[in-house]
Structures are given as C-alpha cells and as structure tokens.
A and B are shown apart, each in its own frame.
Chain A
Amino acid sequence: MKVQSYLRKAAFYLLLGVIVLQAVFPFYYAILTSLESGQAIFDVNYLPHVFDLSNYKSAFTNGVFGHQILNSIFVATVVVVLSMLLAVTASYSLARIPFKGRALLLLTVLSVSMFPQIAVLSGLFEVIRMMGLFNSLWSLIFSYMIFTLPFTVWVLTTFMRKLPSEIEEAAIMDGAPPLVIVRRVFLPLLWPAMVTTGLLAFIHAWNEFLFALTFLSTDSQRTVPVAIALISGRSEFEIPWGNIMAASVIVTLPLVALVLIFQRKIVSGLTAGAVKG
C-alpha cells in the first residue's frame, strides 16, 4: 500500500517534471544559444558555459532592430487603445441593453473573430492602398482591428454581463445617461477586465505576422516578428542563428514577464473569451 502510494507520487512528479521541462526548454535553449557566438554556437550544449553578449550588441548596433521594436510597441499600443475605446461602449450595449437583433449582432462579432485573415487579405490590400497606408504602421493598426476588436468586445461583454444590474439602475435613478453610466460607473468596475483584455489584445497584435509581412515593405517600418522571420544569411550555412536567438529572446522576454506577472488575469480572460463566463 505504502510503496504503491510512493510510486504513484513519484510518477506524478515525474510527469510534472516532463511538462515543465518541455514548456520551458526551447526558450531556455534560445537564451543559451543567444549567449554563444562564433564557432561555439555549433557545439551542442545542454548547460550554459559561456556568457557572451556580442549577439545582443550586434542586434542593436547593426541595422534597425531597435527601431523595429519601437514599431511593434507603437502598433500594439495604439491597437489596444483604439479597440478598447470602441469596444467599451459597444459591449455595454451588447451586455446591458435589450434590443432587437442583439443576439445576431453578438454572433456576427464572434464570427468575425474567427475570420481567416487570408480571406480578407486581397480586399484589405486594396483598401490599404486606396487609403495610402501601404508601408505605413497605420496599415497594421487598421487591419489588426479585425481580430482585436471582436475579441475585446466579446470578452468585455461577458465581463459586463456579470456586473449587478441594481448598480446600473441606481445610476439611472441618479439621472446618469448611458455614456455617463459607462464612464463613471462601469469603467471603474471593469478595470481588472480591461487589463486582462488589453493584455491579450496586446500580445495578439505584438505577435501578428501575416498582415505585417504583407502591408509593410521596408526594413525600417517592419515589426519584430517579420524582422526575425526575414533575418537570413547569404546561404543556408550562413544563417546567423546567434543573432536570431538574441532577437527572439529580446522580443519574448517582455511577453514572458507579462505572462508570469498577470498569469491569473490572462487565464481569466482566455476562458471568458472562449467559455462563456
């Protein structure tokens, strides 16, 4: 009996170890590689044995990588702010005001969030050319609305539904018109949900690749995922893996930090977005 329970415990912790290891190892290995340079990269190592920052130095001194990071930050931030602005009032309507066609509208919003991006790519390309936004960061800000906006509306709507109706009625009795209810009563109560949603939208926008690859054409305008994808050597054998890994670590570290800090919030946002709360 006792032996069996020990064995079961050991098996459980072994499984746990495997789960953690597979999750963390690729990132660990990327860090390891990024700290090696020259010939050292081509020896497979499992444990760190050198600490060489030259890949990081060259990432920031050669080319426009710093600029590209700023591009990514700018795009993701503006996208989050804009979609929040549009989503808060919209989700108030969807969550709180009964009107004809509400269910259909909600379904439409949800189905847009499942849109395959490629299905709108050629049409969007035309729109962006028409608006003169090609190779401008605003082309991404505009096009990213296709996934951040439905997502934020959907998640905020589920959160907004959970707020007690008597608070809203008290505000109505106090004479607050809908916009004041949203701004002064609901918004402060929704902060936690907004942080969650904003964070997820930020990560989405930060990671987006297809639009960024298509709508931007010059190096200095690119966002980091595209920049990293397009780093290449003159031949198969000259791919600068050290630089790629250093760049990868730089763009990933902030995200990993965010995930570790806001773990609970992210989980609640993900599940609210998918399983109705």
Chain B
Amino acid sequence: MAPQSGLARQRTRSAWVFLAPMLFVLAAVALYPLLRTIWFGFTDASLTSFGSARFVGIRNYLEWLDYGDGNGEWLGLLVDGRWWSAVWNTVRFTLVSVTLETIFGMVIALVLNQKFPGRAVVRAAVLIPWAIPTVVSAKMWGWMLHDQFGIINDMLMRVGILSAPVAWTASPDTAMAAVMMVDIWKTTPFMALLILAGLQMIPDDIYEAARLDGVGPVRTFRRITLPLVLPAMLVAVVFRALDALRIFDIVYVLTPNSPETRTMSVFARENLFDYDKFAYGSAASTLLFLIIAMITIGFIYATRMDLSGTRE
C-alpha cells in the first residue's frame, strides 16, 4: 500500500478544498467588482461603453479646467459641493441615528431584561420593525407622515403640538429628521437585542451584591451594568454605524430627489445610472469605500475589537 499522508496534512488539504468555492464566489462577487469600480473611477467609462473605457488619470477626482485666458476652475469630485454635502448628510445621519438607536436600544434592553409576565410576547413585538423590509417601512412611514392625510400630523395637532400640518418628507427642514425617524424605528430592535444579549451575560449575583451594599439603581447602572455591557454595545455600534454609512433604501423611497437627505450611496447611484456619469459615480463609490474602510479601521483600532475570532 502506498504510504498514507498524516492526519494534519489530510485536514489542511481538505480545509483549502472546502474553502475554495466560497473564496472563488467572494472573489467574483466582491473583490473583482471592487477593483473594477476603482478602475472605472480613473477612466471615462459611460453606462453604454464601459468596455472601451480609457484611462484618464485622476480627472474624475480633480481636474484644472483652463479657460485659456489665464483663468480657470477646479473640477471633479473633490471640489464638488454636491458630493461633500452628501458626505456630510451621511455622517450627520449616522451620528444622530446610531446615537439615538443606542440610547433607545439600551432602554428597551433594560426593560426586556426585567422579569414580567408576557416577556416573550413583548420581545417578539419589539422585533417586528426589524423584520419589515426597509422599503416597506419607508412606505408605511411615508404614508403616516403624509402632509395632508398622515396620522402623525393628525396626532400632533390633536394634542396641540402642531397648529398646522407639516410636510415632513418634502420640507427641507424636516426631510432628514423623517429619514432618521424611520431608520431609528426600524433598527433600534437590532440594537436592543444585541445589548440585551450583553446584559444577560452579567451574572445576577453581581446585582445582588450591589443591592446588599446599598448601591442605588442609578449608580448600579453607571458603575456595574454599563461597564460590563460596554463591549457588547461597542460591537453593536460598530455594526450599526457601518450599516448606516451605506444607507440607501430609506432615502431613495422616502425622500427622493431631496438634496437635504442625499447620502453618499444615493449620490453614487444617481451618477452611475441616472445621469450617465458612470466613471464619476464609480469614483464616488471608491471614495465612499475608502471613507468607510477608514472609519472601520479607526473603530477597530479605537475599541481594540477582536475580530479575528481566534481568542475563545
């Protein structure tokens, strides 16, 4: 009989055989398209002719247009006010939404961590917004926020907060607030569940000890609960922030064409497919990727998150 290979060799070989199909698919669906997107950002590709796209350097990002009379102007993404307002919208949206989601998520998690009759039912009910497709949530809220027939205006006018109906999604002052509202409503459950999972890992006897020491509930929360749940919460915040930075669906459905809510993703897609500025849109996509990657690395570094999964 031919000499057999050792167990370790057999297993290492199988590992790569097992991984190969997944790695191939990921390369085809993520790596290659990403590289192509970056490439298109340096070409003059258009929607109909990306096969014959030519390299144009950094013209999509920055270009000096000379008028020929000694004057000229800078063009390109890096000096495009619309792009930077989209960046600012995205960052603003992310900061506000994630902060509020964390606070509300914490409140809901603390409530769900109590023992009360019907807790399972309440937990299921809280999950409902998370299960509703984003597009559907945007439509539902769009209807509830309707300026003439919306129930929100009706409610607020009945209790006397508003004297006249507000065009929530159309008015520049409130459009971003409307988008945030839908996002917070939809994703707070996710936050709450992750924080709840963290809360449930805190052993009861720690609270017992604090109670015996006469520590009040507020101090208990600040000195015991919060520090212990913080790692789980940070992970949740990172995941949510990354998700929020690429927001597209809600804006597209709830407040189309509103400059106040145009986010990076919306800006990129508009250029790619609506304005036939495929190369310009690709450049925007590339910048968005860089921004998100930088924020991610910064986050991982700041929180020293262990993502490798090697530590048990």
Q: Interface digits, B3-45 against A, CB 8 Å rule (1 contact, 0 not)?
A: 0000100111011101101110110111011111100100001
When chains A and B are docked, how far (Å) is the Cα of A255 from the Cα of B134?
Answer: 12
CB-CB < 8 A to A46: which residues of B?
Answer: 151
Count class of interface residues, chain A: 35 or more
Write the nearest CB–CB distance from A95 to chain B, whole angstroms.
Answer: 9
User: Would you call A87 an interface residue if the criterion is a C-beta within 8 Å of the partner chain's C-beta atoms?
Assistant: yes
- Contact check, B29 vs A146: say whether CB atoms are below 8 A apart: yes
User: Would you call B261 an interface residue if the criterion is a C-beta within 8 Å of the partner chain's C-beta atoms?
Assistant: no
When chains A and B are docked, how far (Å) is the Cα of A89 from the Cα of B18?
Answer: 5
When chains A and B are docked, how far (Å) is the Cα of A45 from the Cα of B254?
Answer: 22
- Contact check, B135 vs A94: say whether CB atoms are below 8 A apart: no
Write the nearest CB–CB distance from A127 to chain B, whole angstroms.
Answer: 6
When chains A and B are docked, how far (Å) is the Cα of A99 from the Cα of B19?
Answer: 12
- Contact check, B19 vs A256: say whether CB atoms are below 8 A apart: no
Partner of B14, one of A157, A178, A228: A178
- Contact check, B26 vs A263: say whether CB atoms are below 8 A apart: no
User: Would you call B255 an interface residue if the criterion is a C-beta within 8 Å of the partner chain's C-beta atoms?
Assistant: no
Main DSSP-derived SS at the A contact region: helix
User: Would you call A24 an interface residue if the criterion is a C-beta within 8 Å of the partner chain's C-beta atoms?
Assistant: yes
Partner of A158, one of B28, B185, B309: B309
- Contact check, B116 vs A16: say whether CB atoms are below 8 A apart: yes
Q: Interface digits, A32-73 against B, CB 8 Å rule (1 contact, 0 not)?
A: 010000000111101000000000000000000000000000
User: Would you call A163 an interface residue if the criterion is a C-beta within 8 Å of the partner chain's C-beta atoms?
Assistant: no
- Contact check, A93 vs B19: say whether CB atoms are below 8 A apart: yes
Write the nearest CB–CB distance from B17 to chain A, whole angstroms.
Answer: 8
User: Would you call B77 an interface residue if the criterion is a C-beta within 8 Å of the partner chain's C-beta atoms?
Assistant: no
User: Would you call A19 an interface residue if the criterion is a C-beta within 8 Å of the partner chain's C-beta atoms?
Assistant: yes
- Contact check, A116 vs B141: say whether CB atoms are below 8 A apart: no
When chains A and B are docked, how far (Å) is the Cα of A92 from the Cα of B19?
Answer: 9
Residue tally, chain B, CB below 8 Å to A: 99
In this complex, what residue of B is CB-closest to A46?
A: B151
In this complex, what residue of B is CB-closest to A203?
A: B131
User: Would you call B100 an interface residue if the criterion is a C-beta within 8 Å of the partner chain's C-beta atoms?
Assistant: no
User: Would you call B168 an interface residue if the criterion is a C-beta within 8 Å of the partner chain's C-beta atoms?
Assistant: no
When chains A and B are docked, how far (Å) is the Cα of A153 from the Cα of B18?
Answer: 12
- Contact check, B143 vs A150: say whether CB atoms are below 8 A apart: no
Partner of A228, one of B7, B136, B197, B236: B136
Scan residues 62-115 of chain A and give those whose CB is less than 8 A from a CB of chain B: 86-87, 89-90, 92-94, 97, 99, 102-107, 109-112, 114-115
If A29-B140, A93-B15, A118-B246 touch, whether A209 touches B134 (CB-CB below 8 Å) is: yes
User: Would you call A241 an interface residue if the criterion is a C-beta within 8 Å of the partner chain's C-beta atoms?
Assistant: yes
Q: Compute the total of residue contacts between A and B using a CB distance below 8 Å.
A: 290
Write the nearest CB–CB distance from A273 to chain B, whole angstroms.
Answer: 9
The interface centre, meaning the residue of B15, B185, B239, B269 with most chain A CB atoms within 10 A of its CB, is B15
If A116-B289, A118-B288, A146-B30 touch, whether A225 touches B134 (CB-CB below 8 Å) is: yes
Write the nearest CB–CB distance from B143 to chain A, whole angstroms.
Answer: 5
User: Would you call B114 an interface residue if the criterion is a C-beta within 8 Å of the partner chain's C-beta atoms?
Assistant: yes
When chains A and B are docked, how far (Å) is the Cα of A41 from the Cα of B29?
Answer: 44
- Contact check, A107 vs B149: say whether CB atoms are below 8 A apart: no
If A99-B15, A123-B37, A146-B29 touch, whether A24 touches B128 (CB-CB below 8 Å) is: yes
Write the nearest CB–CB distance from B114 to chain A, whole angstroms.
Answer: 7
Partner of B131, one of A30, A99, A112, A252: A252
Partner of B25, one of A23, A86, A214: A86
In this complex, what residue of B is CB-closest to A212?
A: B135
- Contact check, A121 vs B268: say whether CB atoms are below 8 A apart: yes
In this complex, what residue of B is CB-closest to A182?
A: B18
Scan residues 198-256 of chain A and give those whose CB is less than 8 A from a CB of chain B: 203, 206-207, 209-210, 213-214, 224-226, 228-229, 241, 244-245, 248, 251-252, 255-256
The interface centre, meaning the residue of B40, B129, B132 with most chain A CB atoms within 10 A of its CB, is B132
CB-CB < 8 A to B296: which residues of A?
Answer: 111, 114
User: Would you call B252 an interface residue if the criterion is a C-beta within 8 Å of the partner chain's C-beta atoms?
Assistant: yes
Write the nearest CB–CB distance from B120 to chain A, whole angstroms.
Answer: 7
CB-CB < 8 A to B265: which residues of A?
Answer: 116-118, 210
Scan residues 132-173 of chain A and give those whose CB is less than 8 A from a CB of chain B: 142-143, 145-146, 149-150, 153, 157-158, 161, 172
B: residues with CB less than 8 A from A are 7, 10-12, 14-16, 18-19, 21-23, 25-26, 28-30, 32-37, 40, 45, 50, 107-108, 111, 114, 116, 120, 122-141, 143-144, 146, 148-151, 154, 185, 189-190, 193-194, 197-198, 232, 235-236, 239, 242, 245-246, 248-249, 252-253, 264-265, 268-269, 272-273, 278, 281-282, 285-286, 288-289, 292, 296, 306-310, 312
16 contacts between A and B (CB under 8 A): A26-B185, A87-B22, A99-B12, A114-B242, A118-B288, A122-B33, A122-B285, A126-B33, A149-B29, A210-B248, A210-B249, A241-B149, A251-B133, A252-B132, A259-B130, A275-B194
With A19-B111, A94-B19, A116-B289 already in contact, 12 other A-B pairs whose C-beta atoms are closer than 8 Å: A12-B111, A19-B126, A90-B19, A93-B18, A93-B19, A99-B15, A106-B307, A118-B248, A209-B249, A226-B135, A229-B253, A256-B131
